[in-house]
A and B are shown apart, each in its own frame.
Chain A
């Protein structure tokens, strides 16, 4: 996510729509992509992203610059997406095995010939995780946040971040049984 100058944030907090549009431009890719990966479908991701920006718009006047705007946005996005994913039954996609079939997962993950399949693979892998684990993987592996940033965003201990990532990866590793690893 891009840095945003303080004066832009101040003007946006005073209701300046041009400044708020700048805030949107700097953060929309992060917000939408996190939402999309956590709720795992486009329509819901749009709904989550709208909600996130309405929260940012309405709460910006209360933002005191004690924490960074980035962390604040990470937190709003993660919380909104997790809450949506927990409420929605649609986030659980087709079971992994049904869509890819035995022996296909690693071949596809490793060859990654085209981005559409890569994206679908990621959707399926994320669909195997619960929302708390999913958001940790998304923030770490897709958005590249550090453990410290994830801990601040989710308001949890850094060891909880570590343990959620460990459990997520163990779960994903268990899928290797579906694969003839020697063929890779």
Chain B
């Protein structure tokens, strides 16, 4: 019985569809010679689930189908002519958000980082210079208030008041 179940499964699929290999086909056909139950099953499968489909005629394609498809294509081509589409695609390539923004953002970041760094260096240089001058003035014999040669602006008005 189990053997019949196996053969019936093959009959339902590979055997009736001609997909069964030669050896398995031979085994099945030998079994069919001895088993009337499987022979009846094969007949039923052929009559009910295969034959009606294999014999049905192909439907003629309605002539209106091509006309409609052609109209659809022409309509579609009018809406987006190739040159216009190409232009849009090229424009997109240049201006599209995802491409331009990272590049612009990178430049902006580099500019900002550069400015901050240069400014910091400049402030540090000025502070170091001021500190140095102050220390030098402390060490000089005239004291911190004595004007150095560098501080002598030398204009007549300054000489008058100072």
Residues of A whose CB lies within 8 Å of any CB of B are 15, 17, 20-21, 24, 28-29, 32-33, 36, 42, 46, 49-50, 53-54, 57-58, 105-106, 109-110, 112, 115, 118-119, 121-122, 125, 137-138, 140-142, 146-147, 162, 165-166, 168-170, 172-173, 175-176, 181, 184
Q: Which residues of A contact B52 (CB under 8 A)?
A: 109, 112, 118, 121-122, 125
Q: A172 and B13: CB pair below 8 A?
A: no
A141 CA to B48 CA, complexed, in Å: 12
Interface contact A141-B19, CB-CB below 8 Å = no
Once the chains bind, are B49 and A172 in contact (CB under 8 Å)? yes
Q: Quick one: given A162-B13, A162-B14, A165-B13, are A17 and B70 in contact (CB under 8 Å)?
A: yes
The docked-state distance in angstroms from the alpha carbon of A115 to that of B58 is 11
| With contact pairs A29-B58, A115-B57, A125-B52 given, residues A173 and B45 touching in the complex (Cβ less than 8 Å) | yes
| Candidates B50, B62, B68, B76; contact of A141 at CB < 8 Å | B50
7 nearest A-B pairs in the assembled complex, by CB-CB distance = A141-B53, A169-B49, A172-B49, A32-B61, A122-B56, A53-B69, A28-B61
A58 to B75, CA, bound (A): 13
Q: List 25 A-B contacts (CB under 8 A).
A: A15-B77, A17-B73, A21-B66, A32-B59, A32-B61, A32-B65, A42-B62, A46-B62, A46-B64, A54-B72, A109-B48, A109-B52, A119-B56, A125-B49, A137-B53, A141-B50, A142-B53, A142-B56, A146-B19, A147-B17, A165-B17, A166-B9, A169-B49, A172-B48, A184-B47
| A167 vs B51: C-alpha distance when bound (angstroms) | 17
Total A-B contacts with CB atoms under 8 angstroms apart = 104
Residues of B within 8 A of A (CB): 9, 12-14, 17, 19, 44-45, 47-59, 61-62, 64-66, 68-70, 72-73, 76-77, 82
A147 partner residues in chain B, CB cutoff 8 A:
17, 19
List of B residues within 8 angstroms of A119 by Cβ: 56-57
B158 to chain A, nearest CB (A): 84
Interface of B, helix, strand, loop or mixed by DSSP: helix
B12 touches A109 (CB 8 A): no
User: Are A168 and B49 interface neighbours, CB within 8 A?
Assistant: yes
| A58, A122, A173: the one within 8 Å of B53 (CB) | A122
Do B62 and A24 have beta carbons less than 8 Å apart?
no
CA distance A181 to B44 in the complex (A): 9
Contact, CB under 8 Å: A176 / B72 = no
20 additional A-B pairs beyond A125-B52, A165-B17, A170-B12, beta carbons within 8 Å, are: A15-B77, A24-B66, A36-B59, A50-B68, A50-B72, A53-B69, A54-B69, A54-B72, A57-B69, A57-B73, A115-B56, A118-B56, A119-B56, A119-B57, A122-B56, A142-B56, A169-B49, A172-B49, A173-B48, A181-B44
